[in-house]
Structure 1
Amino acid sequence: MEIDSAERLCKFLISCAFQRCRMLEDLCRLSVSLKPSPPLVRISVSDTGVGSTLEEFQALKYQNDPVLVGKWDGVLCLATTSISDEEIHHLKFDMKEVPSKRLVTLPSATKNGAKFSGTEVSLSIHEEFDGVLAMISVFIRKMLVLKAPKIVIELSVDSGGSLGPQSESIILQNACSALPMHSANVDYLKLGLEEYVCKHGDRLVEACHSCFSSGMNLKVGTGIACSTRNRQSGNQVMEVVIIISEVFQPAQSSCFRLYGRKTEVLYFRDFSPCPISQSSLEALTSVEWKKYGLALKSVGDQDGVTLLEWENLPPCAHIDIVLHRYHKHVTMLVPTQSNQIDRSLTRKAVKLALNDLKELNAGVLLSERAHKICKYAPDLAKTISGLILSSNDLNFQEECISLLGLQLSEGNERNVVEECIKDKLLSVIATNDRNYCGTREAPCLFIDDAHQQPDDEEYEEGAEAIGYLDL
């Protein structure tokens, strides 16, 4: 990995600490500490996970350009120990040196028989303190979306100032989770994105009480696609979570989203935030969004963040998407196949998440055709209710009213019957829109056939995603 900026280096160190915590498979703490030492900022990333093997640092490459040289001297100070070690090993890693001279061993410290493991990496960079804090805060906010169980994440800030050092420690994520400890990874991802949405993506601790004062009004869908047949694909998994939030903001509300009404696409690769891959982006934009009542207007990039803009999104609605691709087992990959697998998994998982969201929330993500049919429901309901209530045959009226789930009485006003019929029509439209999504035939409103075969395109995509086709 080539280090071409101080920001890239900090993100790398935090990601490595997170991975060491995951490997421990026990309660663990990840701490990031910032301390101003003008004109430098001292950064320390520590964890209580498994000790570092140092291989992760050996793979780093220092880009020798004037900008990076002016901000960082290329030196990392390390302290690491494994559970079986009797000492804490202190080392200095100088990336400006040739590979054979980079690592310098310093005097070790005894553990006096104590049993613990962990790693601390520290460095100093020439940057504005507020800028470093903002950069690391944004990255950690994205890390929190993973909602990793058993890991406590802490940000410690020593702001200094005229009154002397003022240290503040914030617990950003507690190891205790509302989910069972052995829940599926996508469940944690779902919970993490829900919290991210309620904090508008720019808050570390509290949800936005202005927009979510009465709780979370979120519609969520998840999708998982796996490629397991070809060993060289490494048992790859793509998890997708899509959330539609409805926020009715007061006219005087000062609340705003970081990217306005555009959809921020969060992308993770092997439990680390990173820019979305080109193949995944192509798959995301190739989804037939109109089948779900959406029209994609544009795809953009702002400061490395992928943003989707919609043409027809209701004013109170907002969409958030997270994609996470990882390997169940570490195996050798074939680079020439990676893009094809990535594209297939992304497309399949996104469609599964959309279908799940649609299935769980009646009337949401209706296709363009269903929306057109819905426009006729009020008039049709009015006509049917008029026919029923204008009949002189009381037995006929009673049977119709009973089918609607109502009671025949003088209290059955026309608007009650009409509203009931309209709701049932809309429900049938939504049900048939789910069942017939992907077919070219016009849906029949009053036939419930939940066992329709998918069309050839959808069958082929499903087979690709689970490895039934040769990738």
Structure 2
Amino acid sequence: MEFSSVQNLSLHLISSAFQRCRLSEQICRLSVILARSSSSSLRVSISDTGNGSCLEEFQGLRFSSNDDADNWDGMLSIKTTSISDTEIHNYTINLKASDSSKITRLTSNTKNGARFSGSEVCLSSFVSIDLLVAEIHQFLEKMMILSIPNVATHLVAEDCDVPGSRYEKVFLANGDKELPIPASNLDLLKSGLEDYVLRHGNTLSNKCHYCFPNWEQLKVGSGVACSIENHQHNELVMEAVIIISNMPVDNTECFRKYGDKTEVFYFKDFSPGTVSKSLMKALKGIDWKSYGLKLGGIVQQDRLALLEWENLTRDTHVDIVLHSYNKQTVIPGPRKITQTERNLVKRAVKLSLDDLKEKHAGVLLSSHAVQVRSYAPDLAKTIAGLILSSSDLNFQEECFSLLGLQSQVVGTENMENCIRERIVSVIEMNDKKPHKNKVAPSLFVDDRAQELEFEENDMEEGEDDLDLQLF
């Protein structure tokens, strides 16, 4: 893996430290300290209390920059130990040297019988401290979406020649939010994206209580798609979480960095990744129209994909996060986006959208269902008129009974509302199912019985039109 800037290399080293903490499954501290003194070079120290690092992590690293601003000699200083080691091992690694002279082993330090594990990686460069702090801060904010529960990260930056320049920030996943025990990767991903949305994209330190008085305002859908790659039996997993939120449009004080555009985050092997052109192509290929969404455009910015919709109301916002990982991968490394992974993106997003529709009535209706639903008031009025104008009292009583209405309190408005609600319910229920399998549900039967029947018949997709069986 080759790097052309100290900034990108630093982010990779932080990511590797995160993985060591994650894999340790113990409460772990990760510290990133940036310090400059007497106008000298900037010292970057990245330390963790996770599993001891392995030299193989660094053997594949290369640094080749033509940018004089970096002014870095390519040297890394490494200290590492595992829980079973009796010593702390010290190395220097020259990322600009050939493999034969790349790693130098230094004298070890005894642990004097203490049992602990951890690593520290240091480098010195003349890179801008402000620029590096901004890059690292944004990177750690994104890491919080993964909600890795056992890692606390401490970021410290200070220019000792500038009084009052010390900056500190602690990043904690989930805070006081309760999660299932044990919490799956998908549970953590949902929690992380919820927290991101509630803080308006991490522009706030805490949840915005004005826009989100309670958690129920978030509509959350998730899906997981898996694939075993060829003879290697490597299982590739793609997780997707989609959140639809509604915020008051009269609040001008709350804002998001990208406005009303949908932010699509991509994580690879438990580390922030970049939404590539290949992944953007997969996002474009999703049948958004089947869920009532009209994609207006898509651009790549700040390692995200930004989706713009043509038909969302001003108060509606959509957020998406994707996470792919190989179950056999321990520490993140280079892995190209394959056709398999693009297909998994489509499947995982579709499952998330289906999950949203199943959980929240009336959400993500197709354009066809929305059109049919617009006829519901007139249709309900016509049916109610037919029933109330009938001279057959037995027929009227049977209709009242099927609608769950008492004959002595039946009025035109009550009946119209009742019938309209049943029509809308049938339309929404029918829109959740694959087109080819859509049947004509009855308006005058128990809704739950219809849902169970739909589940039993939900086998394959098609294009038949939606219609209603009224009697």
Question: What TM-score, normalized by structure 1, do the two folds share?
Answer: 0.86
- Residue 57 (structure 1) aligns with: 58
2:461 to 455, 461, 466: 455
* Contact persistence 1:155–1:172 (CA under 8 A): no
Establish whether residue 46 from structure 1 lines up as the match of residue 44 from structure 2.
Answer: no
What's the CA shift for 1:362? 0.7
- Residue 152 (structure 1) aligns with: 152
| Distance in 2 separating the partners of 1:126 and 1:402 | 81
* Contact persistence 1:297–1:310 (CA under 8 A): yes
DSSP 3-state at the match of 2:132 = helix
- Residue 266 (structure 1) aligns with: 265
What's the CA shift for 1:360? 0.8
* Contact persistence 1:39–1:127 (CA under 8 A): no
User: Relative to structure 1, is the Cα distance of residues 67 and 233 closer, same or farther in structure 2, using a 3 angstrom cutoff?
Assistant: farther
- Residue 200 (structure 1) aligns with: 200
| Distance in 2 separating the partners of 1:19 and 1:336 | 16
User: Relative to structure 1, is the Cα distance of residues 164 and 104 closer, same or farther in structure 2, using a 3 angstrom cutoff?
Assistant: farther
* Contact persistence 2:203–2:256 (CA under 8 A): no
| Distance in 1 separating the partners of 2:199 and 2:161 | 29
| Distance in 1 separating the partners of 2:228 and 2:462 | 22
Question: Deviation string for 1:70-128 (max 9, x for gaps)?
Answer: 3x332222221111111222222222333322323334322111100001112233333
Question: Deviation string for 1:382-431 (max 9, x for gaps)?
Answer: 22233344456555444433333333444x44333322222221111010
What's the CA shift for 1:308? 1.1
1:419 to 413, 417, 420: 417
| Distance in 1 separating the partners of 2:350 and 2:361 | 17
DSSP 3-state at the match of 1:228 = strand
What's the CA shift for 1:188? 1.1
* Contact persistence 1:78–1:120 (CA under 8 A): yes
Question: Deviation string for 1:47-81 (max 9, x for gaps)?
Answer: 111111121111111113134643x3322222211
User: Relative to structure 1, is the Cα distance of residues 403 and 67 closer, same or farther in structure 2, using a 3 angstrom cutoff?
Assistant: farther
| Distance in 2 separating the partners of 1:184 and 1:215 | 20
What's the CA shift for 1:282? 2.2
- Residue 428 (structure 1) aligns with: 426
| Distance in 2 separating the partners of 1:177 and 1:79 | 35
User: Relative to structure 1, is the Cα distance of residues 338 and 319 closer, same or farther in structure 2, using a 3 angstrom cutoff?
Assistant: closer
| Distance in 2 separating the partners of 1:10 and 1:321 | 27
DSSP 3-state at the match of 2:357 = helix
Establish whether residue 226 from structure 1 lines up as the match of residue 223 from structure 2.
Answer: no
* Contact persistence 1:137–1:204 (CA under 8 A): no
Establish whether residue 401 from structure 1 lines up as the match of residue 400 from structure 2.
Answer: yes
DSSP 3-state at the match of 2:119 = strand
| Distance in 2 separating the partners of 1:391 and 1:240 | 53
- Residue 464 (structure 1) aligns with: none
| Alignment-mate amino acid for residue 339 of structure 1 | T
DSSP 3-state at the match of 1:123 = strand
Percentage of matched positions with identical amino acids = 47
* Contact persistence 1:46–1:119 (CA under 8 A): yes
What's the CA shift for 1:30? 2.1
* Contact persistence 1:296–1:308 (CA under 8 A): yes
User: Relative to structure 1, is the Cα distance of residues 35 and 387 closer, same or farther in structure 2, using a 3 angstrom cutoff?
Assistant: farther
Establish whether residue 142 from structure 1 lines up as the match of residue 142 from structure 2.
Answer: yes
What's the CA shift for 1:368? 1.1
Question: Deviation string for 1:127-179 (max 9, x for gaps)?
Answer: 33332222111111111111123222333344657545746342432698622
| Distance in 2 separating the partners of 1:324 and 1:192 | 12
User: Relative to structure 1, is the Cα distance of residues 151 and 303 closer, same or farther in structure 2, using a 3 angstrom cutoff?
Assistant: closer
| Distance in 2 separating the partners of 1:336 and 1:75 | 26
DSSP 3-state at the match of 2:259 = coil
| Alignment-mate amino acid for residue 401 of structure 1 | F
| Distance in 2 separating the partners of 1:434 and 1:182 | 31
* Contact persistence 1:141–1:201 (CA under 8 A): no
| Distance in 1 separating the partners of 2:199 and 2:176 | 20
Structure 2: 5+ residue stretches without partners: 444-449, 464-471
What's the CA shift for 1:324? 0.9
Aligned positions of 1:76-155 closer than 5 A: 76-155=76-155
Residues paired across the two proteins, number: 449
Establish whether residue 326 from structure 1 lines up as the match of residue 325 from structure 2.
Answer: yes
| Distance in 1 separating the partners of 2:129 and 2:229 | 49
* Contact persistence 2:244–2:319 (CA under 8 A): yes
RMSD: 2.9
* More moved, 165-174 vs 308-317: 165-174
* Contact persistence 2:81–2:87 (CA under 8 A): yes
| Distance in 1 separating the partners of 2:143 and 2:17 | 12
Question: What TM-score, normalized by structure 2, do the two folds share?
Answer: 0.86
* Contact persistence 1:198–1:212 (CA under 8 A): yes
- Residue 466 (structure 2) aligns with: none
DSSP 3-state at the match of 1:435 = coil
| Distance in 1 separating the partners of 2:31 and 2:328 | 27
| Alignment-mate amino acid for residue 383 of structure 2 | I
| Distance in 2 separating the partners of 1:74 and 1:121 | 13
Aligned positions of 1:293-442 closer than 5 A: 293-330=292-329, 339-391=338-390, 395-410=394-409, 412-437=410-435, 439=436
| Distance in 2 separating the partners of 1:328 and 1:336 | 13
DSSP 3-state at the match of 1:235 = strand
* Contact persistence 1:222–1:357 (CA under 8 A): yes
What's the CA shift for 1:349? 1.2
Question: Deviation string for 1:293-338 (max 9, x for gaps)?
Answer: 111111111233211111111111111111111111249xxx9996
